[in-house]
């Protein structure tokens, strides 16, 4: 939106007796009134209040004096008008069920609220016309975060062709776009090595869809590397949805057909479902079957047995994405950035007995 000049835009709120605008009963000062009194554009008023660009000192003083004289407080809509923006960020999620997505959204919204930006969320899993949904969202926001494989590479390329600022979250890096990930492969390798060397398990399986998630694919890669180094048999991952019911159903099939001694799950929800499946089949965890997860959600800490897992900074992923998108929107020349946040192995009882739990 093109910045509007003050001339002819600010309504005349002075009364017939020549009193100042602030004296009019019930009148609320606007950015137009500030611009008119300071004899500048509303874009200049916005730059002064936000400190986003250099402004002539004399002009700055004039604007600040007008703000103080009128008692003006900038609203979100006024900022949007002055900046030529929607004052909204968009997030493309594959889905919103489960504690992982909730934590990421909470982290994002906390920062967006601080920045005075609203957040529009579109879920794509199982929805028709995904490309159309993504492009419609793009028309209503200033920038967008894409989580995981919410959309394919062609849709991301289409969004980039619109010159829409993008931050990819939990997604393989793409040229000319910022990306933020949590570390996966090394922690998965450490988890597998713990099962192999500290517990002596020789039959290990992996539960999770490596084709539906970049994170899951990286976790399988680290897990597989440990099996190769230990010269253990490698079976293909058992695919399943990233939720408790999907984990229970997939684990039931696997445990009936070819039960391993240890089962590594792509996230905590799958692992909790697998624990339920094992119990239903009369298997004791960890005596008969070791089970591990990923994320360290609240339920993992309070399950019985406590779930061995990998803790990742879910809320920090969301908050960092919000700040990066805000910076991208307010900086003309900024090279693409790529961050990988650390994760940590958390050992509890579900993988076997230890002298100390929850290390």
Backbone angles phi, psi at 43, to 5 degrees: -65, -40
**Backbone φ and ψ of 182, nearest 5°:** -95, 145
Which pTM does this prediction carry? 0.74
The fraction of the chain above a pLDDT of 90, given in percent, is 57
pLDDT tens digits for range 91-134: 998 876 789 988 999 999 999 988 888 888 888 888 888 999 99
Q: Using 50, 70 and 90 to split pLDDT, how confident is the model at 255?
A: very high
Complete domains list, the chain, with CATH: 21-83 (1.10.260.40), 88-183+314-341 (3.40.50.2300), 185-311 (3.40.50.2300)
pLDDT for residue 13: 39
* For the chain, percent of residues with pLDDT exceeding 70: 85
Task: Look at residue 75 in the predicted model and tell me its pLDDT.
Answer: 56
| Cβ–Cβ < 8 Å for 322, 89 | yes
Task: Assess contact for 308 and 151: CB atoms under 8 A.
Answer: no
Q: What is the DSSP string of 250-283?
A: HHHHHHHHS--SEEEESSHHHHHHHHHHHHHTT-
DSSP calls for 75-97:
-HHHHHHHHTS-SEEEEEES---
List pLDDT tens digits, range 23-77.
455 567 777 788 889 998 877 887 777 665 678 888 888 988 888 888 776 655 5
For residues 171 and 168, give the distance between their C-alpha atoms in angstroms, rounded to a whole number: 6
Burial class (CB in 10 A: 0-12, 13-18, 19+), 121: middle
pLDDT in tens, 136-172: 999 889 999 999 888 999 999 999 998 899 999 999 8
Structure tokens at 163: 């010159």
């Amino acid at each position: 939106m093109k910045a509007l000049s003050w001339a002819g835009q600010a309504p005349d709120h002075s009364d017939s007796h020549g009193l100042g605008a602030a004296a009019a009963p019930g009148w609320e000062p606007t950015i137009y009134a500030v611009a008119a009194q300071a004899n500048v554009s509303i874009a200049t008023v916005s730059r002064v209040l936000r400190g986003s660009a250099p402004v002539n000192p004399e002009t700055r003083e004039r604007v600040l004096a007008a703000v103080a004289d009128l008692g003006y407080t900038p609203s979100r809509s006024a900022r949007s008008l002055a900046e030529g923006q929607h004052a909204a960020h968009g997030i493309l999620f594959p889905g919103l069920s489960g504690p992982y997505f909730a934590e990421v959204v909470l982290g994002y919204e906390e920062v967006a609220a601080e920045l005075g930006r609203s957040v529009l969320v579109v879920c794509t899993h199982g929805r028709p016309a995904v490309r159309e949904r993504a492009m419609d969202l793009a028309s209503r926001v200033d920038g967008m975060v894409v989580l995981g494989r919410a959309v394919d590479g062609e849709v991301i390329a289409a969004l980039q062709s619109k010159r829409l600022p993008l931050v990819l979250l939990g997604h393989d890096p793409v040229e000319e776009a910022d990306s933020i990930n949590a570390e996966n492969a090394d922690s998965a390798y450490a988890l597998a090595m713990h099962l192999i060397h500290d517990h002596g398990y020789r039959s290990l399986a992996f539960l999770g869809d490596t084709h539906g998630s970049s994170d899951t694919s990286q976790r399988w890669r680290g897990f597989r590397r440990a099996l190769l180094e230990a010269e253990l048999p490698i079976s293909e991952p058992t695919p399943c949805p990233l939720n408790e019911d999907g984990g229970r159903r997939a684990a039931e099939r696997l445990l009936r057909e070819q039960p391993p001694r240890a089962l590594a799950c792509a996230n905590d929800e799958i692992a909790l479902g697998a624990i339920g499946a094992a119990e239903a089949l009369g298997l004791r965890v960890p005596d008969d079957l070791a089970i591990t997860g990923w994320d360290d959600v609240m339920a993992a800490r309070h399950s019985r047995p406590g779930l061995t897992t990998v803790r990742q900074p879910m809320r920090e992923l969301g908050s960092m994405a919000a700040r990066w998108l805000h910076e991208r929107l307010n900086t003309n020349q900024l090279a693409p950035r790529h961050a990988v946040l650390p994760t940590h192995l958390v050992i509890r009882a579900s993988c076997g007995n230890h002298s100390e739990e929850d290390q």
